[in-house]
A and B are shown apart, each in its own frame.
Chain A
Amino acid sequence: MLLVSIATLTQNTLIACALYLALLIAAAAAAGLPIPAMLRGAAAVLPFALCFAVVSALAGDPGRGAMLVVRGYLSALAALLLIATTPMPDLIAGLEWLHAPRFLLQTMQFLYRYLIVLMEEAGAMRQAALARSGSVWDRKLRFRRAAAAAGVLFARAHARARAIHRAMLSRGFEGRLPAFRRIPFRTSDAAFLIVACVLTIAVRAAFR
């Protein structure tokens, strides 16, 4: 709901943007997260948003471009807050509780599970390369080696995907994973949900 509210903000609603920013910072502070680091992390989206903003500005609509940047930044901050406060298994369980499509949840689960494995493999490959050749300063050569390594990693990922599928079949997988664990919906969850919804809607309604 927060993302939809942010995404549908029109121009000349900078006060609403500031209020949403304040809400997000307050939530981060309540969760004990390092706010400066969060604000810096969300800025990772800015180069991409700025590209589109420049295009909008060149097309004669700088206001729209500015809103793109602001909305992109707030959305990134909201996503960071979610990731920082909710472990992925809990997030998946929550989405299942909300009846999100099961195929999407399974994809998320596998992506998260094996992204870590692939990152470990990529790290091991990098270490092996460094151990054999040291640092290479020639950019062209570095690029070629990185491209070759990416190809090897893709082949490894494919081989692993096949091996995982075999393991799943051997353990009885027939196209459907068992239900994810159920997380109890407590009174505190309900209170948080109500407060968050009320504040989000109130800001959005005040600056239509």
Chain B
Amino acid sequence: MSLIVEVSNLSYTYEDGTQALKEIDFELEDGATIALLGANGSGKTTFVHHLNGILPGSGQPSGSIISSGSIIIDGLPMTGKNLREIRKRVGLVFQDSDNQLFMPSVLEDVTFGPLAWGMTQAEAVERAEAALDRVGLRHKADKAPWHLSAGEKKRAAIAGILATDARLLVLDEPTTFLDPPGQRALSDLLASLPQAKILVTHDSAFARGLTGEAVFFDAGTIAARGPIAAMVQRHGWQ
């Protein structure tokens, strides 16, 4: 099977001098699901933001927009030229849904991605309504995002990604604010999707419902990769 994510030797330092990632090597096969575990501040979110090209570095002579190492998404190197296509293929669900839902109504927000990627208004609305159906929010389509509960906001944010043609879904703390039934529904939904998935989570039980494999981040490095049960045991991640 082909690789959808190929990262090698990726390092990243924030403007304040904090080194968030140190020589990360990571691969993910197309259609596979993996969980990223690790403490707060271990570099998980910084890493997944790189997969979408939203944390560019100072660049390299090769045209890569990152400072060091390389990232290849679905065969496309992370260069300025490929950025639009890469963002189209990587659907990122952010930890704080309020940051992601910026349009005046839920339907308009979910259509934002499809329209940005060049679909017609009718096609975008059709996609958005289907995505809202999948997350059980069709009846809230005309609501303003700030009138939704925290769990509904999370589902709306996921619908915004499902409405696009993303081939890799990256979910940063997807269970935040979701009650147990909401978590089960999300788990069932994600399990039914054919796309490759990266789950950034502290919730190893949720991750285990979707995949058997995890990587463990520690202080900006990948400390280990393997079965979730082994990761949890080795790192005391109960």
Chain A residues packing against B (C-beta within 8 Å): 88-89, 92, 109-110, 113-114, 116-117, 160, 163-164, 166-174, 177-178, 180-181
Partner of A110 from B84, B102, B160 at Cβ < 8 Å? B102
Number of interface residues of B (CB under 8 A): 31
Name, among A114, A167, A171, the residue most crowded by chain B CB atoms within 10 Å (CB to CB): A171
Partner of B102 from A164, A174, A180, A181 at Cβ < 8 Å? A164
Q: Evaluate contact between B115 and A163: CB separation under 8 angstroms.
A: no
Binds A, one of B71-79, B104-112, B175-183, B218-226: B104-112
Judge if B29 is at the interface, Cβ distance under 8 Å: no
Partner of B115 from A113, A114, A164, A178 at Cβ < 8 Å? A178
Judge if B100 is at the interface, Cβ distance under 8 Å: yes
**What 1/0 flags go to B153-186 for Cβ under 8 Å of A?**
0000000100010000000000000000000000
Cα distance, A174 to B87, chains bound together (Å): 11
Cα distance, A181 to B121, chains bound together (Å): 10
Task: With CB as the reference atom, state the residue of chain A lying closest to B147.
Answer: A116
CB distance from B123 to the nearest CB of A (A): 13
Main secondary structure of the interface of A (DSSP, over half): helix
Q: Evaluate contact between A172 and B116: CB separation under 8 angstroms.
A: yes
If A116-B146, A172-B87, A173-B116 touch, whether A160 touches B99 (CB-CB below 8 Å) is yes
Judge if B117 is at the interface, Cβ distance under 8 Å: yes
Judge if B94 is at the interface, Cβ distance under 8 Å: yes
Q: Evaluate contact between A166 and B112: CB separation under 8 angstroms.
A: no
Q: Evaluate contact between A89 and B105: CB separation under 8 angstroms.
A: yes
Cα distance, A171 to B99, chains bound together (Å): 12
Contacts of B104 in A (CB 8 A): 88-89, 92, 109, 113, 180-181
CB distance from B6 to the nearest CB of A (A): 20
If A110-B102, A163-B94 touch, whether A181 touches B108 (CB-CB below 8 Å) is yes
A-facing residues in B102-141 (Cβ within 8 Å): 102-105, 108, 111-113, 115-117
Cα distance, A81 to B232, chains bound together (Å): 59
Judge if B22 is at the interface, Cβ distance under 8 Å: no
Contacts of A178 in B (CB 8 A): 108, 111-112, 115-116
Q: Evaluate contact between A163 and B96: CB separation under 8 angstroms.
A: yes
Task: With CB as the reference atom, state the residue of chain B lying closest to A112.
Answer: B104
